[in-house]
Copies of this chain bind each other. A is one copy, B any other.
Amino acid sequence: MILGPPSLGRLAESLLKLPGIGKKTAERLALYIFKMPEEDASTLAEAIIEVKRRTRLCSVCCNVTEDDPCPICDDETRDEALLCIVEQPGDVIALERTGQFRGHYHVLQGALSPLDGVGPEQLRVAELMPRLQSGKVREVILATNPNVEGEATALYLAKLIKPMGMTVTRIARGIPVGSDLDFADEVTLARALDGRQSV
């Protein structure tokens, strides 16, 4: 694809596999890496190798971690009665950034998507079961994405967990803070109306 030295082309093709990186960007990044100081380039290459070598999934919550159990599962100051189920490690990072949640997490590593061949067996549901059966969890918060796959996953989990006697909640869907009512799509607006709360 890229016209130029083969090693530059190979780098561009490798970068092209990353999400959100198109042909032009891959080319631009490859040329930038070529111009980088040798040191920065090796740091980047090593960081890629390291992240694969050092990290694994926490055996408790299935989040990305270097230590097993992960620092969140290992943190005794956190509330064991609250379990927040998310799709991806990135969702844990986003929720932790709010500083509002002091419970534990469970990372499914995906969402139900029958068309892509992702059923409950492909998700980390097997690891979730013993946690729920331990009797320590009082409330399960379903924080999967508010899209088709996420909603289907939340529905599936709710049906699975409710009979076990725990409170099952779903994060609120509504107008994002700071945005305009005008710009919200109808489904979001309908959800925002549905989820209205007394003030």
Q: Mark A44-73, 1 if CB is under 8 A from B, else 0.
A: 111111111111000000011110000000
Q: Are A51 and B30 in contact (CB under 8 A)?
A: yes
Q: Are B65 and A14 in contact (CB under 8 A)?
A: no
Q: Are A14 and B43 in contact (CB under 8 A)?
A: yes
Q: How far is the CA of A8 from the CA of B41 in the complex (A)?
A: 17
Q: In this assembly, does A29 line the interface, its C-beta being within 8 Å of a C-beta of chain B?
A: yes
Interface of A is mostly: helix
Residues of chain B within 8 A (CB-CB) of A19 are: 28-29, 32
Q: Are A31 and B89 in contact (CB under 8 A)?
A: yes
Residues of chain B within 8 A (CB-CB) of A82 are: none
Q: Are A18 and B3 in contact (CB under 8 A)?
A: no
Q: In this assembly, does A186 line the interface, its C-beta being within 8 Å of a C-beta of chain B?
A: no
Of A90-98, A148-156, A157-165, the segment with at least 4 beta carbons within 8 Å of chain B is A90-98
Q: How far is the CA of A65 from the CA of B6 in the complex (A)?
A: 9
Q: How far is the CA of A89 from the CA of B36 in the complex (A)?
A: 14
Residues of chain B within 8 A (CB-CB) of A88 are: 31
Q: Are A2 and B34 in contact (CB under 8 A)?
A: no
Apart from the given pairs A4-B93, A7-B50, A34-B52, 14 other A-B contacts in the complex at a CB distance below 8 Å? A5-B51, A5-B66, A7-B47, A8-B51, A10-B50, A14-B47, A15-B47, A19-B32, A30-B51, A34-B55, A42-B49, A45-B46, A45-B48, A45-B49
| Interface set of A (CB-CB < 8 Å, partner B) | 2-8, 10-11, 13-15, 17-20, 25, 27-34, 36, 38, 40-55, 63-66, 88-90, 92-93, 96-97
